[in-house]
Amino acid sequence: IIIEDYHINFKGSRLIKQFVDGKIVDELRWKGNVKQCKPGHIFETAHIKTLQRINYYRRFAGVDLPSTFSEDLNTKAQQIAFDVYPGAEECKKSNLVKNTPGIQMNGAHTSKAILSMMTATTDAGSRTYILNPKNQIMGHGSTDKNIVIVNDDMNQVDDKYDSLAIAWPPQGMVPAELIYGRWSFSLKNADFSKAKVKMKVFGREVPKENIVIDEFNPQGAGIPTLSWLPKDVILYAQMDLEYEVEVSGVKLPGVEKLQGYKYKVTVIQTK
C-alpha cells in the first residue's frame, strides 16, 4: 500500500513535458512576459500536482488536514515568483517577498519547490510550512521554479495537534527515496535547546559524532523543530532497514521534567 501510494501520489505529482499533436507541451505552461513586466499565470495541472504532493507529504507525516490553494494567494504567489525571476529586475517590485510567510529573500526559508523544501540541507524551516497542521490554505505560483506561500491568518485546528509530534522521516515504513539528508522532529510549544538525539540500526547505536544536531532556533519558521544530519544512513539494501530514533531533553510548557520520545523508521525499497 505504501509503495503504491508513493508511485501514485509522489511520482505521479511530477510536472512533466509531453508530446501533444507533435509538439512538446510543458505541464507548467508559464504565461508571463519579462519585457512587459507581466507575472502571467500557470496551467491548472501545475496547481493540481503541486497540491497533490503537498498533501501527500502532510498525510504521510500524520497530518490528516489537507491543504488547499486559494485564488487570492495563488495570484500573490505568482507575483512573488515573478519578482524573484532572473531578468525581472527592471520591473517594479512588490513588497510581497519580504512580508509573506513561506519565502524570504535571504534564503533562510525560501520555498522554491516542494521537493527542495523537504530536502534542504541548510535549514529545516521551510519543511515546517508544508507539515504545519494549521497551514491548510496556501498559494502557489511559478515561473521556472515553484513558490509556495501560506496565509497570514492560519486556521485553528483540533487540540490533538498540540501534542502531535511530526517527524520526517515519519514513524513506520518509508520509501528510501523519501529519506532525505536532514531528519526533523517538530512539536508545538516545545523547547529543543537541550535536546539530544540517539539513533540505532541493527540494534547498534550510531556514534554520536555521526549525528550533527542543528542549533535550535525558537524563533524559526512554523512549529518548533529539532533537526539533525545523521551520517552514513543506509538507504538502498536488499532488506528493510529499521532505524530506532530517540529524542530526549525536550522541555514542554508547565512540565518540570524533560520529556523523551522514541519511534522507529523502516527504510523500504520501491523497486
CA distance 228 to 105: 24
Cell of 195: 535536546
218-248 per-residue burial string, b: 16 or more CB within 10 A, e: under 16: eebbbbbbbbbebeebeeeeeeebebbbebe
Which pLDDT score, from 0 to 100, does residue 101 have? 74
- The per-residue pLDDT of the chain, averaged, comes to 85
Residue 12 has pLDDT above 80, yes or no: yes
Total Cβ atoms within 10 A of residue 98: 12
User: What pTM value is reported for the model?
Assistant: 0.88
Among 17-21, 91-95, 241-245, the least confident range: 17-21
Give percent helix, percent strand, percent coil of the chain, each to the nearest 5: 25, 30, 45
Non-local (6+) Cβ contacts of 233 within 8 A are 179, 243
Mean pLDDT, rounded, for 123-134: 80
Q: What is the pLDDT of residues 149-177, one digit of tens each?
A: 887 666 677 788 888 999 999 999 999 99
d(CA 38, CA 81): 11
Q: What strands, in cross-sheet order, belong to the sheet with 68-69?
A: 68-69, 137-142, 146-150
